[in-house]
Amino acid sequence: MLAEPRPIGTLKARCPACGARELEITDYLYDAPLVGLLLLSSGTCSSCGYRYSDVRMAEGGEPERLEVRVERPSDLNILVIKSSTASLELPELGVKITPGPASQGIITTVEGILHRVLEVLDVLCSDPSADMEECRRRRGELEKALQGARPFTLVITDPDGASKVVRDEESKEKLYRALKAVGAATRP
């Protein structure tokens, strides 16, 4: 088992923000408790400062669909590793997120996912042509879910089988500390 993330290679790539070939990406391998081998990628463009990070299971597999039923406030702390190729859905909340060409993998919690969805909703609802009543309704539903007062299902569909859900508290904390060291983990 790898005690800390170990660098395995570095490459220069074209920056998606400025187009310069100055995005230096370093890949790390980490054997996370109860998760397995993770491939972590982290980089910064020396031209414009754009930051890139990605995470995925190093040992991808068959396409898979992961479902998590969120029914109580403690379920919001479930750790989610979503690869850059995975789509995410919250059917009861009317949310579906599909990966695009610049999609990045994330390590967060169910709560963190809800916060990201709220951020996107705020951007969409800032459009003058947005239906403000619908925006308020959706925001209300998401806020209830964040309080643990609105049960919902989180569905991750990953064609590469490189996503994972972790419920064990001790393993989540060890994993978070190790990933934070390389800038690959986020908390709400």
Name the more confident of 184 and 59. Answer: 59
* Distance from C-alpha of 147 to C-alpha of 127, rounded to nearest angstrom: 27
Residue 136's contacts (CB-CB under 8 Å, 6 or more residues apart) are none
Based on the structure, what is the number of domains in the chain? 1
Residue span of the structural domain in which 107 resides: 6-181
Residue 187 lies inside a defined structural domain of this protein: no
Residue 1 lies inside a defined structural domain of this protein: no
pTM to 2 decimals?
0.72
Alpha helix positions (H), 30-131: 110-125
Alpha-carbon separation of residue 107 from 28, 38, 50, 75 (angstroms): 15, 11, 19, 16
Say which CATH number the domain at 16 has.
Answer: 2.60.120.1040
The angle subtended at Cα 62 by Cα 60 and Cα 68, nearest 5°, is 85
Residue 186 lies inside a defined structural domain of this protein: no
Q: DSSP state, 94? A: T
Calculate mean pLDDT across residues 29-53. 85
Half-sphere exposure of 12 (CA within 13 A, CB side): 6
Q: Which of 113, 49, 118 is nearest to 81 (CA)?
A: 113
Q: Say whether pLDDT at 108 is over 90.
A: no
Residue 49's contacts (CB-CB under 8 Å, 6 or more residues apart) are none
Residue 162 lies inside a defined structural domain of this protein: yes
Q: Average pLDDT of the chain?
A: 86
Q: Say whether pLDDT at 163 is over 50.
A: yes
Residue 188 lies inside a defined structural domain of this protein: no
**Per-residue pLDDT reduced to its tens digit, 58-104:** 776 789 999 999 999 999 999 898 988 899 999 999 999 999 877 88
Q: Please state, for a pLDDT cut of 70, what percent of the chain lies above it.
A: 85
